[in-house]
A = this chain, B = another copy of it.
Amino acid sequence: MSTLSTKERILNSTENLIAEHGFAELSIRKISQQAHTNLAAINYHFGNKQQLIDQVLERRLNNLFDIRKSMLDELNQGDVNKPCNLEQILHAFIAPALFMINDEHQGGRIFMQVLARAYAEQSEALHDLMKDRYTPIIKEFAEAIGLACPELPRETIFWRFHFIIGALTYTMGHFGATSVARQMPEEEYFEKSVAELIEFAKAALSNA
């Protein structure tokens, strides 16, 4: 029925079910059913339910932060002390989330809802991933923003970047439920969102 491996089908089904019905209604029986496999296959491949959820988060987050990191590296051009253009830095942080959302084939759109829910649930696995793998990258972005906005105190940078991440997470998790009137194709709407978000972040970082 599908060219994907059982493991991949399980990961995809889990992602789908979390995005559609949330963590509260997630059961490994529904997962195995949607993945066209057996109950025990989940425990065989992932150990238990929690480790499966962890891997769902890890798979896409690793990809997202890898892209962010490489885009930032490209801006830095080897010299992390050279100030970059603020808009480009924000683009490197915000746009990859859009790309994920817009890539129907990879199912990234669904994942951003999963991510928003995992954030809200304050998932322990997500917290660990954040601490060990992603916080360093976020710090790099904060440093770059600091160089691009020399007039803002370091502490202010951190606060506002934190708020920007909040706005991004919230927005990405609520695509399709925004109250902003929308009479355009979905793809166009995604790009509009990111453009507005970048303008918003730029403005928020341009005043003392």
Chain A residues with CB under 8 Å of chain B are 22-24, 26, 116-117, 119-122, 127, 135, 138, 155-156, 158-160, 162-171, 173-174, 177-180, 196-197, 199-208
Contacts and interface: CB of A to CB of B under 8 A. Distances in A.
Contacts of A162: 171, 178-180
For the complex, would chain A's binding face be called helix, strand, loop or mixed by DSSP majority?
helix
A49 B121 CA distance: 19
Contacts of A119: 120, 170, 173-174
Residue of A135, A158, A180, A204 with most partner-chain B CB within 10 A: A204
Nearest to A208: B203
A178 B155 CA distance: 13
A203 B163 CA distance: 12
Contacts of A160: 196, 200, 203
Contacts of A203: 160, 203-208
